[in-house]
Amino acid sequence: MDREQEEMQFLGPFGIYTEAYQIILSWRKILTQITLALILPLSFILLAHIKVSELLTSRITHNQTELQQAQAGTQTYDNISNNISSEWTAFWLFELAYTFFFLIFSLTSTSAVVYTVACIYTSREVTFEVVMSVVPKVWKRLMITFLSTFLSFFAYTLVSAIIAILIIRGMTIGSSGIRLLIVLILFIIYGLGLLYMTIVWQLASAVSVLEDSYGFKAMVKSKNLIKGKMWVAIVIFFVSSFSSFVIYTLFEKFVVHGESLILVYKVGFGMLCLSFQSMLFLFGLIIQTIIYFVCKSYHHENIDKSDLSDHLEVYLGEYVPLKETDVQLGQFHV
């Protein structure tokens, strides 16, 4: 990241993509190591979840169809019913294991990439061994931020559902078409709120690693930072989401439901999707960190590189996060 901090505030989506691409090219060795160690398993877990979930749900659906055709009280009916119960148990155990491992690799990947990009920003030498020694001490902060975000999403959804129910029940006049329109408007408003909270959460992850803020405090800091750069974040979010949608769609079509393809083609296409998904994860995490510096620059919160470098040091085995007083060292004038 050779740009002066004053210039970063003017970066739009294209400039941020260019900056991320240059970082990947210049630091491809350590980023490749991080990708192979953390991001590749994360991508594999995600795609494997799609394949295994489809397999389990299709078996449950098939057995439920057979159960409807079997006569109640017979041995066949009881066997099919027991199979369905076992398959549902396997399904939920698999979902629980998937959530656990996906969360662990997601938080560790975020920790590693954000820390690495911050070291690059400070022109500080960084190795894969150093990054992996820092990750266990950083991801706990991200976990607290994630749990705070989860509670926020849950509370937001609960309150939104209660308000929607009260509004719909209070509608004593109007045609069904008007009611449907109101429900659609409420759903759009709810979706916009989720979008806003998701973007705040993504930026809060970088804040949790680079500042002395995590949990709800990091979310508040992120909410203030994203002001003025929300549209940039929204454009990048939709591009990333669309790219993921394309990968998932192709994976389901040619790997999950590709019965007509021979095994070698399915495996090859699955490896291709795995590679693209890994690159997308890496690209997204780098962009997430760049947006943090862009927002800091936009709000004229000058980050002294030497102070940031000092706080990124692993000293006596302890990770020292950047304190809020160090990232608000005064305003610079453009």
pLDDT in tens, 17-27: 999 999 999 89
pLDDT score recorded for residue 302: 64
pLDDT score recorded for residue 180: 79
Tally of domains in the chain: 1
Q: How many residues does the chain have?
A: 334
Ranked by mean pLDDT, the top range of 72-81, 194-203, 209-218 is 194-203
Rounded Cα–Cα distance for residues 101 and 45 (Å): 8
Contact of 247 with 276, CB cutoff 8 Å: yes
The answer as to whether 229 is a domain residue is: yes
The answer as to whether 334 is a domain residue is: no
The answer as to whether 280 is a domain residue is: yes
The answer as to whether 333 is a domain residue is: no
Query: pLDDT category, 330, cuts 50, 70, 90?
Result: very low
pLDDT over 70 (residue 202) = yes
Rounded Cα–Cα distance for residues 148 and 210 (Å): 18
**Which of 25-39, 102-116, 176-190, 214-228 is predicted least confidently?**
176-190
**pTM of the prediction?**
0.84
pLDDT score recorded for residue 333: 37
**Which of 15-29, 73-87, 91-105 is predicted least confidently?**
73-87
Residue 13 backbone zone (phi > 0: left; psi -120 to 50: alpha; other: beta): alpha
Q: To the nearest whole number, what is the mean pLDDT of the chain?
A: 83
The answer as to whether 331 is a domain residue is: no
**Which of 1-10, 71-80, 246-255 is predicted least confidently?**
1-10
25 Cβ partners below 8 Å, 6+ apart?
Answer: none
pLDDT over 70 (residue 332) = no
pLDDT score recorded for residue 321: 52
Rounded Cα–Cα distance for residues 92 and 56 (Å): 10
pLDDT score recorded for residue 308: 58
Contact of 256 with 50, CB cutoff 8 Å: yes
Q: Among positive and negative, which fits the CA dihedral 90, 91, 96, 97?
A: positive
The answer as to whether 332 is a domain residue is: no
Q: Which one, of 230, 215, 209, 245, lies nearest residue 121 by Cα?
A: 209
The answer as to whether 58 is a domain residue is: yes
Domain that holds residue 279: 5-326
288-326 pLDDT, tens digit each: 999 998 888 888 776 655 555 555 554 335 545 555 544
pLDDT score recorded for residue 102: 92
**Which of 66-70, 77-81, 263-267, 328-332 is predicted least confidently?**
328-332
